[in-house]
Structure 1
Amino acid sequence: MFVLDRHGRPLDPCHPARARRLLSAGRAVVHRHTPFVIRLKDRDAATSAIEGVQVGIDPGSKHTGLAVFTDHGGNRSGRYTIRLDHRGAAIRDRLSARAALRRARRSRNLRHRAPRFLNRTRPQGWLAPSLRHRVDTTVSWVARLTRWAPMRAVYVERVAFDTHALSAGKPLQGVEYQQGTLAGYEAREYLLTKWGRACAYCGASGVPLNLDHLHPRSRGGSDRIGNLTLACIRCNQAKNATPVEMFLKGRPALLAKILKQAQAPLRDAAAVNAIRWALWRALEATGLSVHTASGGRTKWNRSRTGAAKSHTLDALHVGHLENVTTWPSTVLVVKATGRGTYARTRTDRYGFPRLRFPRTKQVKGFATGDLVRATVPTGQKAGVHLGRVAVRSTGSFNIATRHGTVQGIGHRHIHLLQRADGYGYTTHPETRHRTTFPPQPEGEGLHTGGIR
């Protein structure tokens, strides 16, 4: 749990059991409900010994993992993990719908202004709104964690793949090819993303996958990324040292697809890398000590600690480390929901207003999205209901709880816990161990370095 002193300055986080004892003894009060933050009444940061914490960030397209941890000589201990769910896809769809609506209105025989989008220039470092949202949201949560915990450093993945290790690294062969080095993990992670973590020949997923050369090395093939693909153990053994053209001679459509995909670069990698670089620059501007690493090193760290694949555990393994001793059993899932819209109307299919909304968003002191607790003494809805409220001008509100929506709760029975901040909060258990595959017959796939 996050802890503040009596002046609101951050102290070292504490165990939930200790936070409960402090609250029951009257030494602390609840400062924030989610994430849970307490404020001590009798402590001052100026006279307290503060060790400090660090935060790891694993940026992603749909989800970003954040992990707050302490570090003692390279041994990390996870204290708090957050999975941030972005709404970049919703932003992209809204912008596309708006552009289509405006385009349609300009094409009709109506009185309208001339288009102004042709004379606009984009500043240096411009990102599309859906991408900028991911950067701004992540930086915003780092700033929040800085207010709740004594932040010492930030570890962030600046690139998904180390392209230098892919192009200039030495060939994957011998012991390094079987067991994997850091450069090998860069290549493996790149290929897993490029080929969708499935066998290129039969499409099997959820099984051990091996690196396979489209043109075998015994016939002059190279170790370049464009000559590598993924194959399950059965397809890898069936192909053996056969060129891909001969192996797929009876399946010309699949052959053409594999050859085209092998030569095409990973387009998503460029977009994700652009987000990571923009995030790194934004974090540098905060004045925190920022350390960077690649996604390949993160996976290499996870392989040594035996951790499962998740955004939060990836965040805990970013950068240089010796070991990860513990990590939290519960993850706080923070979903970006937005703060509503400024528009006070809804439009029909022609773009003209058809519905009007009130000018104010608050009703009886509550706004849609507020976290509330309703205590209903009698009636069919009697009980305690905790969740997000949807306000109505009549004063009878709906509350979305984890068990469903309870409708028609009077505002007099509702108590405010936390104002809406544009996010929805849930929790789920963290995967504690690496996902395992069924055992394979002895000797299968050893010469090609099986990967997952």
Structure 2
Amino acid sequence: MTYCFVLDAQGSKLSPTKENRAWYLIRKQKAILKNKFPMVIQLKKEIPVAEIDSTPVHLGIDDGSKFVGIAVVQECKRKNKPLFKGTIELRTDVKDKMTVRRGYRRYRRYQKKYRPARFNNRSSSKKEGRLAPSIRQKKDSILRVINQLNKWIRIHHVSLEDVLIDIRALEKGHKPYKWEYHQSNRLDENIRKAAVLRDHNCCQDCGITNTRMEVHHIIPRRLNGSDSINNLITLCSTCHGHVTGDELHHSGRLLKKVKGRNISYNDAMHVMQGKSYLQNELKKIAPLSLTSGGDTANKRIDWEIDKSHANDGIVICNLKVKPDQCELKNWTIKTMRKRSSKKIESANGFHHRDFVKYTKRNGETYLAYITAIYPKKNQCNMTTIDGKILKRYGLSRLSLIWRFSKTYWL
């Protein structure tokens, strides 16, 4: 089942209706199509304020680092009716792109030898309460989708699952005592020196002590290894040379020597660091209430709802009664970069990022969006909804479904 958002002639937000009913109103020329994915229509008449349905509408958000579940539920007099649910796929390539940009910037500065050195000249690095761009863009992506939904349907209340992750417990592998949280997990402010002190200035592979020691990342940084003492080991130069370039082959053996754990805390830290900013911005949209992951799991089990990000969004909504029907279309929402990497604007009426359908000669079809256009060959590259990359497919077999506008609703 799929619902359609409805606006009146003045842009007032009305209660959604089923898509079949919306297409009927369009055929009868009583409404016009404003947006196709998701479907939004605008009536050609104005509805008096007294006749507009004022039943409360709840928005539930299941926050995460890579996927975020959202759901809109209308609290009717007799039942709770889910109207929309979807999963936001967040970008995870921002840090890598910033690393490349930093390399370009440093290269340009190295060429300007006549310019005196400058320090702390970037305002973003001195701003108090600043969020890293890799985290900020994730929260802004969530807010962008919610603000768009708020233009199509009234939102009276927002419920957010408050993420509480104990990073120290993940690092230790058990719940620490209260006094252990006040103790540093390092032996020195210099993390290299701390690793050498922990290992008593002894190579942990061959046992030699009368040589200069080197500190080795067991899981290398290029493979998202953490820069913590649990991922460091002291080795002599000979042993260090043996494991360099083949770190994963030796990682299990070296982790046992230092009692380390191969765990990445990036996802947990991204959610924890940006949650205050997200909560403050959501309060500007509608009253906000927080819930816990335990309450969400208990409700989902009691209501016998399948586990998914979008279904968790339905459960998180501040409801006391089980929703009437949870079998809705699960939208996949992708927020794209504002700056496009396109080199060709359009070809044969198709634009970069258009959502299209490709039909093969055997009748098989692909739903995808265009990522590159080659006008000389009359071809294009596409990425399907499932993430499959299609290269050099002919434009003649394409049919336009919808023109891209800031966000993909698939």
One-letter amino acid matched to 2:16: P
Deviations 1:52-102 (A, max 9, x none): 422111111001111011125896432211111011x21111111222344
After TM superposition, give the deviation of residue 11 of structure 1 in Å: 1.1
After TM superposition, the structure 1 = structure 2 runs for residues 59-78 of structure 1, keeping only pairs within 5 Å, are: 59-72=63-76, 76-78=80-82
Separation in structure 1 between the aligned mates of residue 180 and residue 330 of structure 2, nearest angstrom: 36
* 1:277 maps onto 2:276 in alignment: yes
* 1:368 maps onto 2:368 in alignment: no
One-letter amino acid matched to 1:398: C
Map of 2:60 onto structure 1: 56
* 1:138 maps onto 2:136 in alignment: no
After TM superposition, give the deviation of residue 368 of structure 1 in Å: 0.5
- The 1:39–1:224 alpha-carbon spacing in structure 2 relative to 1, beyond 3 Å, is farther
Structure 1: stretches of 5+ with no match in the other structure: 164-189, 201-212, 215-220, 227-250, 345-356, 427-452
- The 1:284–1:395 alpha-carbon spacing in structure 2 relative to 1, beyond 3 Å, is farther
Map of 2:202 onto structure 1: none
Deviations 1:325-377 (A, max 9, x none): 221332110123323447x9xxxxxxxxxxxx57xx456775301235799xx
Of 126-135 and 382-391, more deviation after overlay is shown by 382-391
Does the CA contact (< 8 Å) of 1:65 and 1:312 recur in 2?
A: yes
After TM superposition, the structure 1 = structure 2 runs for residues 72-221 of structure 1, keeping only pairs within 5 Å, are: 72=76, 76-87=80-91, 89-103=92-106, 106=109, 111=113, 118-120=120-122, 121-161=125-165, 194=170
- The counterpart of 1:307, out of the listed 305, 313, 332, is 305
Structure 2: stretches of 5+ with no match in the other structure: 182-251
TM-score, with length taken from structure 1 = 0.59
Deviations 1:92-137 (A, max 9, x none): 1111122234445656x77575665633343232111111111111
Of 109-118 and 94-103, more deviation after overlay is shown by 109-118
Map of 1:407 onto structure 2: 393
- The counterpart of 1:18, out of the listed 21, 25, 36, is 21
Of 61-70 and 392-401, more deviation after overlay is shown by 392-401
One-letter amino acid matched to 2:274: I
Deviations 1:376-395 (A, max 9, x none): xxx97999986534445559
Separation in structure 2 between the aligned mates of residue 385 and residue 151 of structure 1, nearest angstrom: 35
TM-score, with length taken from structure 2 = 0.64
One-letter amino acid matched to 2:393: Q
Separation in structure 2 between the aligned mates of residue 365 and residue 424 of structure 1, nearest angstrom: 20
- The 1:252–1:381 alpha-carbon spacing in structure 2 relative to 1, beyond 3 Å, is closer
- The 1:278–1:15 alpha-carbon spacing in structure 2 relative to 1, beyond 3 Å, is same
- The 1:124–1:303 alpha-carbon spacing in structure 2 relative to 1, beyond 3 Å, is farther
RMSD: 4.4
Separation in structure 2 between the aligned mates of residue 276 and residue 102 of structure 1, nearest angstrom: 31
Map of 2:334 onto structure 1: 335
One-letter amino acid matched to 1:333: T
Does the CA contact (< 8 Å) of 1:368 and 1:391 recur in 2?
A: yes
After TM superposition, the structure 1 = structure 2 runs for residues 414-425 of structure 1, keeping only pairs within 5 Å, are: 418-425=402-409
After TM superposition, give the deviation of residue 152 of structure 1 in Å: 1.3
Map of 1:30 onto structure 2: 33
After TM superposition, the structure 1 = structure 2 runs for residues 226-241 of structure 1, keeping only pairs within 5 Å, are: none
Secondary structure of 2:93 counterpart:
helix
Identical aligned residues as a percent: 24
Secondary structure of 1:317 counterpart:
helix
After TM superposition, give the deviation of residue 28 of structure 1 in Å: 2.7
